[in-house]
Amino acid sequence: MARHLRAAFAAALLALLPAIAAAQSSGASGASAPSPQGEPFVLGAILRVVARSLGSEAVVGRVDSLRGEWVVLDTVAPRMDGSLFEANIVPVDQYRFVAIRAQDMRTVDVRTGNSKFGGMVRYGLFGVGIGGLVGALSNGQGINPSGADFLSGFVIGGTVGGLVGGTLGYLTGKDSWLRIPPPYYLNAPR
């Protein structure tokens, strides 16, 4: 039994090697963000904003335009950047654009990139936990299951869950954000 588990684990590692190599070679991809010392309100930057006028909910959007003291965010554009699961969004212009006054902003985060490797690790670990738990519980059924039954179920379920989670994490990635300290002023032409 242990020989089969070792073979399954070795096969899972070999299956993950191309994805790990591709994730490390691709590095962080995403929209070019301003430097930490620079102005966060540049056209095309992806921002996560919490503002008094919007309540406590954060709004994520690409800076579409700067109009006086207002920042106009396109909330659909960041999701159309090649996301695997949200590719069929139908933009509704009435809800697509959000205008926020710079003085109303409580926090502003700038997206600095999207890490394929970070997403793969995060979702892979989540998949190992969920898959291992399901595998341990399903393999431990019967009369008087032993600890080895639970362990072998956890290893097999965790391997499958890690492969599925790691693949989904590689495809979706993990966003990196940089907090910009207040006060927020616009250097836009008026």
Q: How far apart are CA 146 and CA 142, in angstroms?
A: 10
pLDDT of residue 126: 93
Taking the whole predicted model, whether its pTM rises above 0.85 is answered as no
Q: pLDDT tens digits, residue range 93-124?
A: 667 888 888 888 888 898 888 888 888 999 99
Model confidence at 74: pLDDT above 80: yes
More reliable by pLDDT, 102 or 141: 102
Model confidence at 9: pLDDT above 90: no
pLDDT of residue 24: 46
Long-range contacts, stretch 167-170, CB < 8 angstroms, 24+ apart? 167/19, 167/120, 168/123, 168/127, 169/119, 169/120, 169/121, 169/122, 169/123, 169/124, 170/19, 170/22, 170/23, 170/116, 170/117, 170/119, 170/120
Strand-pair category, 28-29 with 59-67: unpaired
User: 156 and 108 share a domain?
Assistant: no
User: 94 and 139 share a domain?
Assistant: no
User: 62 and 110 share a domain?
Assistant: yes
User: 161 and 125 share a domain?
Assistant: yes
pLDDT of residue 161: 94
User: 38 and 22 share a domain?
Assistant: no
User: 134 and 145 share a domain?
Assistant: yes
Domain that holds residue 138: 2-27+116-172
Flag whether 143 is in a domain.
yes
Instruction: Compute CA 44 distance to the chain's CA centroid, rounded to the nearest angstrom.
Output: 19
Q: Domain holding 92: CATH number?
A: 2.30.30
User: 108 and 121 share a domain?
Assistant: no
Number of H helices, E strands in the chain: 4, 7
Flag whether 187 is in a domain.
no
Q: pLDDT tens digits, residue range 16-57?
A: 545 554 444 444 444 444 444 446 678 888 888 888 888 878
Flag whether 48 is in a domain.
yes
Determine the angle formed by the axes of helices 147-172 and 2-26, rounding to 10 degrees. Answer: 20
User: 105 and 39 share a domain?
Assistant: yes
For the beta carbon of residue 129, count every other beta carbon within 10 angstroms: 16
More reliable by pLDDT, 77 or 134: 134
User: 122 and 76 share a domain?
Assistant: no
Number of domains in the chain: 2
Q: pLDDT tens digits, residue range 148-171?
A: 888 888 999 999 999 999 999 998
Flag whether 190 is in a domain.
no
User: 11 and 61 share a domain?
Assistant: no
User: 23 and 42 share a domain?
Assistant: no
pLDDT of residue 45: 86
Residue with tokens 């502003």: 108
Q: pLDDT tens digits, residue range 75-99?
A: 876 665 555 555 555 556 667 888 8
pLDDT of residue 55: 81
Flag whether 186 is in a domain.
no
Question: Ramachandran region of residue 79, left (φ > 0), alpha (ψ -120 to 50) or beta?
Answer: alpha
User: 84 and 127 share a domain?
Assistant: no
